[in-house]
């Protein structure tokens, strides 16, 4: 699949639920209303659609959400997709908040998952509870160490928030080094109404990087994971640190991905509204050939890039849907 700008589309991110057991302040409002179950694609529908993408050249799948591991029977989907590794699919991964990992780490590894991303924005228990509105850090830490014990490579994702966790990145880099994890910092993106002011939260990672350089030797590297992060080797720990900077740096020119929501809507760009509806097609009994044709038609509409700007006057998000809907 090649889009109109010559980019090869090989990566599909799949949100399997809009629900979550946490309410991170940058991601969701406290009183979120979630979709009725009938609106979600069934696990079988998700698998069928992923299979069509794999036939068309998708080599990497990431399962996300909401919190993917709270979806009932989701390990069945991992099992089914994992069996396609080596038959077109090269990599199956997951992004999770880690709360359910202690239960699922072994099964994830058994299904062929090798690397996972776990979101952890702070190492301070009280701050963790504030940032997630009610989470307990022990649960996520237990999950992270269960994943490590199961042989999964762990990357920690942390959203950088001004005045919230910006004093912790040195400690987090050291902690990740100690346990053999890479760390990836993410700038907040203006997605979805979160009942708070986003301009207050935004912290440019260029500032964070300059501060980290006072303590750590960050060496340029060509390392890429097929994503928008720019990575550096941390000489002191032997691990890497990545920076995802959608607000300060436009990463669209190398974009290789599209995103499927849990309701079967395909977004060709995280920051744009245009989409394609696959649920209607699936439920109308579309053949595999019709599904593939619809996927190709959607890829042909992939836009050049996003245009994230915070509307300061109205304090409206640039994109009305939440990250948990599109799948972060
Ligand atoms: N629940 C899982 C988790 O937290 O890892 C997967 C879904 S979550 C939406 C995926 C990633 O998006 C997380 O790393 C989260 O921190 C990030 N995220 C959510 N809202 C964001 C926002 N407004 N700006 C930047 N990153 C965001
Ligand atoms: Fe849930 Fe992940 Fe959003 Fe936090 S970032 S509220 S864990 S979906």
User: What's 315's DSSP letter?
Assistant: T
Pairing mode of beta strands 257-260, 11-15: parallel
pLDDT of residue 320: 64
pLDDT digits (tens, 9 = 90+) for 297-326: 999 999 988 765 544 444 556 666 776 666
Relative to the CA of 322, which ligand 2 atom is closest?
Answer: 3
CA distances from 8 to 12, 56, 105, 117, 226 (A): 12, 11, 32, 24, 11
pLDDT digits (tens, 9 = 90+) for 261-278: 999 999 998 888 899 999
How far away, in angstroms, is 290 Cα from ligand 1 center?
Answer: 33
How far away, in angstroms, is 70 Cα from ligand 2 center?
Answer: 11
For 11-326, give the CATH class.
Answer: alpha beta
Sign of CA dihedral 267, 273, 276, 282: positive
How far away, in angstroms, is 128 Cα from ligand 2 center?
Answer: 12
pLDDT of residue 312: 44
Structure tokens at 186: 């993410």
* Backbone dihedral angles phi then psi of residue 326, each to the nearest 5 degrees: -75, -25
**What's the rounded Cα separation, in Å, for the pair 117 and 224?**
15
Mean pLDDT over residues 62-89, rounded?
A: 98
Percent of the chain with pLDDT over 90: 80
194 near 31, Cβ under 8 Å?
no
Mean pLDDT over residues 44-65, rounded?
A: 98
187 near 160, Cβ under 8 Å?
yes
Mean pLDDT over residues 168-194, rounded?
A: 92
| pLDDT over 70 (residue 228) | yes
pLDDT of residue 315: 52
Structure tokens at 250: 């436009």
pLDDT of residue 22: 98
pLDDT of residue 253: 83
Nearest CA to ligand 2 atom 4: 24
Is 65 touching ligand 1 by the criterion CB < 6 Å? yes
Determine the residue of 67, 144, 328 to mutate for testing ligand 1's pocket, defined as the one with the most ligand atoms within 8 A of the Cβ atom: 328
pLDDT of residue 201: 84
How far away, in angstroms, is 73 Cα from ligand 1 center?
Answer: 22
Structure tokens at 29: 């409002």
Query: How buried is residue 112: exposed, middle or buried, by Cβ count under 10 Å (0-12/13-18/19+)?
Result: middle
Determine the residue of 147, 159, 325 to mutate for testing ligand 1's pocket, defined as the one with the most ligand atoms within 8 A of the Cβ atom: 159
Mean pLDDT over residues 150-171, rounded?
A: 97
For the chain, domain boundaries: 11-326
Structure tokens at 258: 């599209």
Helix (H) or strand (E) holding 212: helix 205-212
**What's the rounded Cα separation, in Å, for the pair 142 and 98?**
8
pLDDT of residue 139: 98
Is 32 touching ligand 2 by the criterion CB < 6 Å? no
Residue labelled with tokens 């020119």 = 253
pLDDT digits (tens, 9 = 90+) for 200-215: 788 999 999 999 999 9
pTM here is 0.94
| pLDDT over 90 (residue 62) | yes
**What's the rounded Cα separation, in Å, for the pair 304 and 113?**
31
Relative to the CA of 28, which ligand 2 atom is closest?
Answer: 6
Mean pLDDT, the chain, whole residue set: 92
Q: For the chain, how big is the Rg over CA atoms in Å?
A: 19
Mark 241-254 as b/e (b = at least 16 C-beta within 10 Å).
bbbbbbbeeeebee
pLDDT digits (tens, 9 = 90+) for 19-52: 999 999 999 999 999 999 999 999 999 999 999 9
pLDDT digits (tens, 9 = 90+) for 275-298: 999 999 999 999 999 999 999 999
CA distances from 10 to 33, 47, 305 (A): 33, 17, 17
Residues facing 11 on adjacent strands: 60, 257
Reported as half-sphere exposure (CB side, CA atoms, 13 A), residue 116 has a value of 33
């Amino acid at each position: 699949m090649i889009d109109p700008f010559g980019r090869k589309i090989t990566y599909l991110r799949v949100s399997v639920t809009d629900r979550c057991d946490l309410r991170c302040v940058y991601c969701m409002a406290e009183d979120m209303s979630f979709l009725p179950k009938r609106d979600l694609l069934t696990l079988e529908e998700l698998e069928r659609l992923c299979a069509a993408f794999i036939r068309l050249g998708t080599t990497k799948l990431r399962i996300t959400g909401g919190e993917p591991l709270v979806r009932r029977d989701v390990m069945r989907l991992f099992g089914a997709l994992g069996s396609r590794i080596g038959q077109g699919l090269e990599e199956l991964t997951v992004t999770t908040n880690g709360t359910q990992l202690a239960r699922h780490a072994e099964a994830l590894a058994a299904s062929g998952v090798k690397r996972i991303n776990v979101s952890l924005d702070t190492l301070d228990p009280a701050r963790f509870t504030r940032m997630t509105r009610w989470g307990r850090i022990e649960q996520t830490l237990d999950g992270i160490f269960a994943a490590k014990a199961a042989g999964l490579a762990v990357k920690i994702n942390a959203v950088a928030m001004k005045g919230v966790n910006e004093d912790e990145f040195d400690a987090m880099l050291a902690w990740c080094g100690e346990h053999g994890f890479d760390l990836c910092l993410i700038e907040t993106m203006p997605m979805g109404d979160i009942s708070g002011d986003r301009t207050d939260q935004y912290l440019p990672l260029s500032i964070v990087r300059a501060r980290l350089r006072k303590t750590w030797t960050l060496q340029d590297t060509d390392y890429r994971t097929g994503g928008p992060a720019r990575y550096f080797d941390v000489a002191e720990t032997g691990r890497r640190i990545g920076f995802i900077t959608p607000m300060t740096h436009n990463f669209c020119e190398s974009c290789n991905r599209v995103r499927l929501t849990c309701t079967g809507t395909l977004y060709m760009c995280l920051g744009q509204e245009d989409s394609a509806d696959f649920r209607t097609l699936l439920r109308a009994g579309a053949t595999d050939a019709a599904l593939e044709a619809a996927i190709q038609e959607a890829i042909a509409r992939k836009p050049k890039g996003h245009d994230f700007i915070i509307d300061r006057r109205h304090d409206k998000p640039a994109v009305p849907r939440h990250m948990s809907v599109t799948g972060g």
